[in-house]
Amino acid sequence: MPNPGMNPATDSAPRKLRIGPRAGVLLTLLALVLFELGLRAAGYPDQVATRTDPDVGWVLLPNQDVDFDGVPVRINARGFRDADWPPGGSRATKRVAILGDSVPYGTGIGAERRLTEALARHLTRELGPGEAEVRNFAIPGYGFQQMRALFDRTVRTWDPDVVVVALNDASHRPLVVPARGGWVRRLLIRTATYQWWLSVSNFEVRDPMEPDEDVQRVERERAEQIKHDPFAAEYLDGWESVLAGLVQLQAIQAERGGRLIVLALPRIRHIANPSLPYVGAHLATRLQAAQLQLVDPLPRFRATMGPLFETLRKSGYETRALWSHETSAALEWTPELKSLAEGANLFQVGDPDHWTALAHELAGRALAEALLEDR
């Protein structure tokens, strides 16, 4: 017999679970935390996070540990890919600061295999333990204008004996400060979820009050054009600005009893086609006239890799295809080819814009010889 207080039509049906607004927020947050933890377990974040900066364009966020394409990348407390620097001055008698872009930064290889560390090893071997310290201030994407600003703001406070400015064919391009740099992005940029979102979509979080990127379109297009034809007549004024900036840096270093060295950064095209314009050749006479020292590792690069290119050509291989940015290029590297290239390849397969550890070793050795020649 039914209970007089029951309604058989309603009370016998299962009750719907009702979640209040507070519980809904908590469940959403829990799901996001679990998703974030799952992404980190899967290898995210896999990109070094940056933030915009009005003076230098962008900087690396400090205290990062990232696995970039299988290469561990550690960004120290000062925002550079280097060991943590002790507070105060350095006791080393030879203090060397490296300014540059993603090549001296060491994209694609472990930090211990870069020209910075190669240079430190050579100097230590010649000068003794503790007598040399080399710090890496390179930031991916930097041109000379950014290096010059970074020297004034950060590098000169360390009081280096030697400043090495690493330049490539397009280091004279103008600085274009990215527009994305507001508080919303700064809250999200360190998360694995944000980097995952960027990898699956073309949408990047922007703040409502950020300036429209269209105002920078002209400068951005000019910078891209310079990359493709860096020695065109209409861009040579940029090199004159670089030379003037280098003379200023040299004067600052001379006042402090230090010196400036310009390091030219060869690209793979300069090995494959020696007739192409090249930053080292373009600046050599001008730097000499201004009494600035140039270290150009290109002759060592050609002596090391030139015979490999000749062998490959005679065997019917297209070198441009073998070092292509296309991922399929790696599939063409048979065990025979890898054996042939061992001890001679200076550019990363699949990313020929960046050097192998062997190239870093050659450049580090060239720098060490230049630094030690006046002992």
Residue 337 included in any domain: no
Residue 162 included in any domain: yes
Q: How far apart are CA 318 and CA 12, in angstroms?
A: 78
Residue 121 included in any domain: yes
Of 214, 181, 177, nearest in space to 49 by CA: 181
User: Residue 90 sits in a domain of what CATH number?
Assistant: 3.40.50.1110
Residue 249 included in any domain: yes
pLDDT of residue 223: 81
Q: How far apart are CA 331 and CA 338, in angstroms?
A: 11
Number of domains in the chain: 1
pLDDT of residue 190: 58
49: left (phi over 0), alpha (psi -120 to 50) or beta: beta
Residue span of the structural domain in which 292 resides: 80-173+230-298+367-372
**CA 219 vs CA 174, 222, 351: distances in Å:** 7, 5, 26
Residue 139 included in any domain: yes
Residue 241 included in any domain: yes
pLDDT of residue 220: 74
If the chain, 375 residues long, is cut into consecutive pieces of 10 residues, what is the mean pLDDT of each piece? Answer: 51 60 73 64 66 90 88 95 84 91 97 97 94 96 96 95 97 78 55 58 45 60 85 93 97 95 96 92 95 97 93 83 68 77 90 96 97 81
Q: How far apart are CA 354 and CA 116, in angstroms?
A: 15
Question: Six-digit token pair at 340?
Answer: 């042939």
Q: Which residues of 91-109 are buried (b: 16+ CB within 10 A; e: fewer)?
A: ebebbbbbbbbbbbbbbbb
Query: DSSP letters of 85-108?
Result: PPSS----SEEEEEE-SHHHHTTT
Cα four-point dihedral sign 34, 60, 100, 146: positive
Question: Six-digit token pair at 92?
Answer: 């080393």
Q: How big is the chain, counted in residues?
A: 375
Of 163, 192, 169, 182, nearest in space to 54 by CA: 182
Strands 132-136, 94-99: parallel, antiparallel or unpaired by DSSP?
A: parallel
Residue 56 included in any domain: no
Residue 186 included in any domain: no
